[in-house]
Amino acid sequence: MRILVVGGAGYIGSVCAELLLNEGKAVAVFDNLSEGHRRAVDPRAEFFEGDLAEAEQIRSALASFQPEAVMHFAASALVAESMENPSKYFRNNIANGLNLLDAMVATGVKRIVFSSTCATFGPPERVPIDESFPQRPINPYGESKLAFEKILRWFDQIHGLRFVALRYFNAAGASENFGEEHRVETHLIPNVLKVALGQQPQVEIYGTDYDTPDGTCIRDYIHILDLARAHLLALNAPTSESYNLGTGGGTSVREVIEACRKITAHKIPVVEKPRRPGDPARLIAASEKIQRELGWRPEFQNIDAIIESAWKWHQKFPRGYGD
């Protein structure tokens, strides 16, 4: 099977491309390297440097590689930035995504796996969050992803473009070769590990007065390898569907920091700060639907195993991809 991984030089895309190649698939990566890294592209993959904003570039890549399916990871993905610059998010995540869909229709590619997000739901009335929950995003990032999910339904109905939308909760961890390095790092685990590496003096906790056992936010961390396996299974989904992806367990900010202290043997100083607006106390996924319908099972249920894999990668590549 031939797969074009759009955004395959980024964190999740690079690990998915690696797993596809390990499974014997033919893989090409399409990325503009604005957020991704050239060294994050598996050397076994064909590489097209291009931008979804340029419709001809993605159409040309599809026509050249002739994939049977596309995995679509390319997006702007910072919630806070989306509140300051909504135009960027609607343009990148919707308008540029339409260039991809139009090119797929033009070149006869009939299957797509879309990287969506739990941000399409907004603050939950209860947890865990299953697929039946109302989708009421509270920021342009979540709104842009929800809009694209709706567009995919119409492209399926009108053009026969079969899709699977995977709504991630908190992706974390690393494979042996590929890990998490964002130019603007907002994720908790890499920021804690930067303190252990001596690259930052402390880690900040935003909010210690939530209605949780230790007062800090609880999140559902899912290992990047479990996430990647879900994408492989989604390639063979019999119908178009949307699935939530998480472990169904929750870990608080303080618990993550304590686990990082144990694994790295560093003290990791913390500074407590006020809550950030829009941060729910708990975000936990109900993933029974994908387990039932596609046979997916998370292998990494323990936060220690997730952090250990990330720490190994950061020790191996303390400066990330070096670009």
- The residues annotated with a catalytic role in the active site are 141
Q: Which residues contact 319 (CB under 8 A, 6 or more apart)?
A: none
The SS3 of residue 154 is helix
The tokens for 249 are 């367990």
* Contact between residue 241 and residue 288 where contact means Cβ atoms under 8 Å apart: no
DSSP string, 242-287: EEEES-S--EEHHHHHHHHHHHHT----EEEEPPPTT--SEE-B--
Rg (CA), the chain: 19
- Residue 154 CB neighbours (<10 A): 11
DSSP E strands in the chain: the ranges are: 2-6, 26-31, 46-49, 69-72, 111-117, 162-168, 170-172, 203-206, 218-219, 221-223, 241-245, 251-252, 270-273, 282-283
Q: Which residues contact 260 (CB under 8 A, 6 or more apart)?
A: 189, 192, 193, 196, 266, 268, 307, 311
DSSP state of 93: I
Place of tokens 């009108």: 158
Measured CA to CA, the distance from residue 183 to residue 12 in angstroms comes to 15
Residue type, 296: W
The SS3 of residue 69 is strand
